[in-house]
Amino acid sequence: MTNSIEEIEDAECIFLIGTNTSEAHPLIARRVMRAKEKGAKLIVADPRMIQLARFADVHVRQRLGSDVALLNGMMHIILKNGWQAAEYIANRTEGFEEFEETVMGYTPAKVEAITQVSIRDLEQMAEYYAAGSPSALLYAMGITQHTTGVDNVKSCCNLAMLCGNVGVRSGGVNPLRGQNNVQGACDMGCLPNVYPAYQPVTNEAAREKFSKAWGRELPGNAGLTITKMIPAMLEGTLKGLYVVGENPVLSDPDAHHVRSAFAKLEFLAVQDLYMTETACLADVVLPGVTCVEKSGTFTNTERRCQLLTQAIKPLGNARQDWEIISDLSTAMGYEMKYQNSEEIFEEMKQLTPSYAGMSYERLGLDGLFWPCPNSEHPGTPYLHKDTFTRGLGKFHPIGYKDPAEMPDAEYPYFLTTGRMFAHFHTGTMTRKSAHLHHEQKTGYVQMHTGDAKKLGVKTGEMVRLSTRRGEVEIAVVISDMAQEGTFYVPFHFAEASANVLTNSASDPVAGIPEFKVCAVRLDKIVHGENRK
């Protein structure tokens, strides 16, 4: 997030796109609701009638995967009416002319045809967003998990810059991230192309700095993203895999394909809390520790690094993640010796400029927002105040592209996947809680009453969903939350796995798969029939 969570409360307008905030980020929804109750305008763009849509001043249900067109349409209207922040654009950005040319091609009529959002609603969204001073834009996986994920994000940034909302308190472009420490993991270089603090492995100066600190020559080429690893495993160029705290057999798209790739590995080690679907395939399972058994830091979605203090000793034969990694590294010939996680933090901050001013003592209970470059620096709740990281903010001209798979005669419905409030990710933790299990015991396909009537299915009925990748048997839930023509399946449940169905087509730049759109068919299950 460019801005902190607390600031959302003071926005004049909040634009939620591709985020079911109250179910997936409930404490951020609290801030949204508070802003709304103080008088902020609330815009929700989501194909489903999510909880916060009930409170929206305008809610639009754009056709799946049409976000670029929707955002271009808003920007078209803003420019037509002269609502853009002209001074901000002139002083702080570049690339405006080329961008403007593209956006002017997205007339309201054209956008309505692509997105199925009425011109009136589109105008209302544009007006509210442009009028807010500041307006905060919040998005989540509904924006990123597309073959056009990067285009979608860039379009969000274009909109925010167009109205001068980046670099101001309570404004910004705010991706709501899924895990408590996914921001921290990325900050620490758990990505195939960067060292900590996003210093590129291909940059010679950065490489030299880390080579020197670690006393080893380092490779100068980027590694594989997870979506590239799967084909590499199938081709046999990737033979061994060490999976830490992830359950790709359930969380990656096109699960049958993923399983066959895992079967080809010569060696698989999985480090996790529980015997996950992925751990069941492993040659070696290394038991890690839960959050109450370890010390360290988590950096959350708002870039706030917070200290975690161990409450109990590790249970059973579980060990600290850093101990396992250190021992493994030592056994493989690179000695790692640390007394505790603080010693690792101290080493890290020497090499990570955005964390350089932090220490366990300074983090205290409230933590610090990066960048925090020196020990006197108070941290940075919102980014890009006077200048962008690259200097000027760059407008990108973005054209609309269809999702990789659209409904057709054979697979006539859209399928989208996501989360529901009671469970987290692949359910490895939440499905073990009796209370959360009570809330939701298994998977389901949510559909609109109209579609259910047409197909002759009832709530609770088991049906078969099939895509070009696979099929699952799953119970129907009829709900007016669903958009007509679009089915929704939560991906938490291995026995009704959404990712058997999803498409592994991915964004060409970021490699993120298109979990949010594919084409699907529904068949009634007839007793005594032979499964095809």
Partner 1 sequence: MKDTVKKWLEEKQVDMFLGYKMVHGHALPYCFQADRLDEVDDLVVSRERYSLEKMATHIAAVYPEMKIGMLARDCNQRALKVLDIWDQLKKDSVTTFNVNCCPSPLKNHGDCSYLEPSPVGPVKVELGIDNNMSVEHAEHLDQKERFAHWMYEFSKCIKCYGCRNICPVCFCKDCSLEHPELIRSGGALPTEVPLFHLVRAAHMAGRCIDCGLCEDACPMDIPLRLLYRKVGSSVSDLFGYRPGIDEGKSPFNLIGDAPTTEPRPI
Binding site for partner 1 (CB under 8 A): 22-23, 26-27, 29-30, 33-34, 36-39, 50-51, 54-55, 364-366, 420-422, 435, 438-441, 446, 477, 479, 481
Within 310-392, strands assigned E span: 368-369
| CB of 39 or CB of 316, closer to partner 1 | 39
Helix, strand, or coil (residue 343): helix
| 58-60 vs 41-45, strand pairing mode | parallel
Q: Name residues whose C-beta falls within 8 Å of residue 342's C-beta, 6 or more positions apart in sequence.
A: 295, 360
Spatial strand order of the sheet with 368-369 comes to 296-299, 304-308, 368-369
- Smallest gap from Cβ 83 to partner 1, in A, equals 24
| CB of 155 or CB of 170, closer to partner 1 | 170
Pick from 188, 190, 220: nearest CA to 207: 220
- Smallest gap from Cβ 21 to partner 1, in A, equals 10
For 478-488, give one letter per residue: b (16+ CB within 10 A) or e.
bbebbbebbbb
Write the DSSP assignment of 124-164 as a string of letters. HHHHHHHH-SSEEEEE-HHHHSSTTHHHHHHHHHHHHHHTT
Chain centroid to CA 212 = 34
- Smallest gap from Cβ 413 to partner 1, in A, equals 19
- Smallest gap from Cβ 439 to partner 1, in A, equals 5
Q: Name residues whose C-beta falls within 8 Å of residue 466's C-beta, 6 or more positions apart in sequence.
A: 411, 501, 520, 521, 523
Pick from 122, 116, 43, 14: nearest CA to 76: 122
Q: How many angstroms separate the Cα of 10 from the Cα of each of 23, 104, 321, 340?
A: 22, 32, 39, 40
Chain centroid to CA 305 = 19
Cβ atoms of 270 and 243 closer than 8 Å: yes
What pairs with residue 135 in β-bridges? 13
- Smallest gap from Cβ 12 to partner 1, in A, equals 13
- Smallest gap from Cβ 308 to partner 1, in A, equals 14
Q: How far apart are CA 5 and CA 174, in angstroms?
A: 9
- Smallest gap from Cβ 279 to partner 1, in A, equals 27
| CB of 10 or CB of 94, closer to partner 1 | 10
- Smallest gap from Cβ 465 to partner 1, in A, equals 18
- Smallest gap from Cβ 313 to partner 1, in A, equals 18
| CB of 226 or CB of 477, closer to partner 1 | 477
Q: How far apart are CA 385 and CA 62, in angstroms?
A: 32
| CB of 413 or CB of 488, closer to partner 1 | 488
- Smallest gap from Cβ 306 to partner 1, in A, equals 11
- Smallest gap from Cβ 38 to partner 1, in A, equals 4
Q: How far apart are CA 406 and CA 518, in angstroms?
A: 6
| CB of 234 or CB of 477, closer to partner 1 | 477
| CB of 216 or CB of 313, closer to partner 1 | 313
What single-letter amino acid sits at 134? P
Q: Which two tokens stand for residue 332?
A: 């493989």
Pick from 438, 413, 374: nearest CA to 501: 413
Within 372-443, strands assigned E span: 393-394, 413-418
Q: Measured on CA atoms in the order 401, 121, 516, 19, is the torsion positive or negative?
A: positive
Q: How far apart are CA 84 and CA 527, in angstroms?
A: 61
- Smallest gap from Cβ 492 to partner 1, in A, equals 12
Q: How many residues are present in the chain? A: 532
Chain centroid to CA 30 = 20
Q: Measured on CA atoms in the order 384, 386, 389, 390, is the torsion positive or negative?
A: positive
- Smallest gap from Cβ 365 to partner 1, in A, equals 4
